[in-house]
């Protein structure tokens, strides 16, 4: 089935795939990618939702808030990565010394979990804007009559949010889940490349980063191509989930 793209001089059948899947490094990469995308999605979605709800409720200054909260959409991931890594960098020292003064032994260039923390933080920061935009559009799409009725039936604002508003945002939320997962898989390449290069010791290597490392730095084209195919299958699964869901959404 798989076209070898004229790359492999010798046909090895499925050996590339078995090699990849049996490689413990690959397994840990898969696990990290999953963990990473869950963290990024969870935090950026919840923070964006919080901010969008607030902007939707305030009367003064909503426009200003909106502009400032959405500008980061346009920043390139590597730019965010560079600034972020310099903020935490031992070379610049400010945040680095601050965190260590609190008693942490923090160094994202040496310690795996610190590196993960920094990469997640920058990725969440970068992704906040787009989630914010979608949540706000979703909130503004809720008909005024529904909001009025909810206000009368349910005076407590927090309870009202969870029983009325949030269910109405369900389509937006699900859609954003898919988008954010894709983002964590693919778009974070630039952030990771500029903050940790997948290190220390592979602790922040995502699937895409590994394809790049193996194929273009390690010159293992076969293994890298096999990984690409596995990644593609994953994306297809995601898309199928998304489409089944969109079909359901039509009933709204």
Partner 1 sequence: MSKPWTRTVIRHGILIMGTLIMVLPLWIALMSSTHTPETLFKEGLQFFPGGHGWETYKAIIGGNDDLSTPAWRMLLNSLVLGLGFAIGKIIISTIAAYALVYFRFPLATPLFWMIFATLLLPLEVRIIPSYEVVAQLELLNSYAGLIVPLIASATGTFFFRQFYRSVPGELMEAARMDGAGPVRFFIDILLPLSSTILAAIFIIMFVVGWNQYLWPLLMTTDTDYYTVVIGIRQMFQTINEGGDLPQFNIAFGLTILATIPPVLVVVIFQRMFIKGLVETEK
Chain positions contacting partner 1, by CB under 8 A: 3, 5-7, 47, 50-51, 54-55, 57-58, 61, 65-80, 82-87, 91-94, 125, 128-130, 133-134, 137, 155-157, 175, 179, 182, 186, 189-190, 193-194, 208, 211-212, 215-216, 221, 224-225, 228, 231-232, 235-236, 239
Closest by CA position to 29, among listed 183, 224, 216: 224
Beta carbon nearer to partner 1, 24 or 219: 219
Distance of alpha carbon 43 from alpha carbon 41, whole angstroms? 6
Nearest approach, Cβ of 54 to partner 1 (angstroms)? 5
Residue number, 47 or 99, with CB nearest to partner 1: 47
∠3-238-23 over CA atoms, to 5°? 60
* Residue closer to partner 1, measured from CB, 73 or 202: 73
User: Least distance (Å) from partner 1 to the CB of residue 239?
Assistant: 6
**Cβ(109)–Cβ(196) below 8 Å:** yes
CA dist 29 and 155 (Å) reads 48
Cβ proximity to partner 1, 5 vs 24, nearer residue:
5
- Shortest distance in whole angstroms from residue 172 CB to partner 1: 9
Beta strands in the chain (DSSP E): none
Q: Interior CA angle at 54 toward 48 and 58, to 5°?
A: 145
Closest approach of Cβ 70 to partner 1, in Å? 7
How many CB atoms are closer than 10 A to CB 151? 12
Residue 35 CB, shortest distance to partner 1, in Å, is 19
Nearer to partner 1, 24 or 67 (CB): 67
Nearer to partner 1, 21 or 47 (CB): 47
* Nearest distance from C-beta of residue 229 to partner 1, angstroms: 8
Assess whether the previous peptide bond of 200 is cis (omega < 30° from 0). Answer: yes
> What is the spatial distance between Cα 37 and Cα 182, in angstroms, rounded to a whole number?
8
The dihedral sign for the CA sequence 38, 191, 27, 106:
negative
Neighbours of 225 (CB within 10 A): 22
């Amino acid at each position: 089935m798989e076209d070898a793209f004229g790359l492999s001089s010798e046909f090895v059948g499925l050996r590339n795939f078995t090699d990849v899947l049996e490689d413990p490094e690959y397994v840990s990469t898969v696990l990290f990618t999953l963990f990473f995308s869950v963290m990024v999605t969870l935090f950026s979605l919840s923070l964006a939702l919080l901010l969008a709800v607030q902007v939707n409720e305030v009367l003064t200054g909503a426009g200003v808030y909106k502009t400032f909260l959405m500008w980061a959409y346009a920043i390139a991931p590597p730019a965010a990565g560079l600034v972020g890594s310099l903020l935490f960098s031992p070379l610049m020292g400010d945040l680095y010394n601050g965190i260590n003064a609190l008693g942490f032994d923090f160094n994202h260039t040496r310690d795996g979990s610190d590196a993960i923390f920094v990469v997640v933080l920058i990725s969440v920061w970068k992704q906040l804007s787009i989630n914010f935009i979608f949540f706000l559009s979703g909130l503004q799409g809720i008909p005024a009559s529904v909001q009025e009725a909810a206000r009368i039936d349910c005076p407590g604002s927090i309870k009202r949010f969870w029983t009325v508003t949030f269910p109405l945002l369900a389509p937006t939320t699900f859609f954003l889940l898919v988008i954010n997962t894709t983002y964590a898989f693919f778009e974070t390449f630039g952030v990771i490349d500029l903050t940790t290069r997948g290190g220390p010791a592979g602790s922040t290597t995502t699937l895409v980063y590994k394809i790049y490392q193996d194929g273009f730095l390690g010159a293992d084209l076969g293994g890298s191509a096999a990984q690409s195919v596995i990644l593609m299958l994953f994306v297809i699964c995601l898309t199928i989930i998304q489409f089944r869901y969109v079909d359901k959404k039509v009933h709204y």
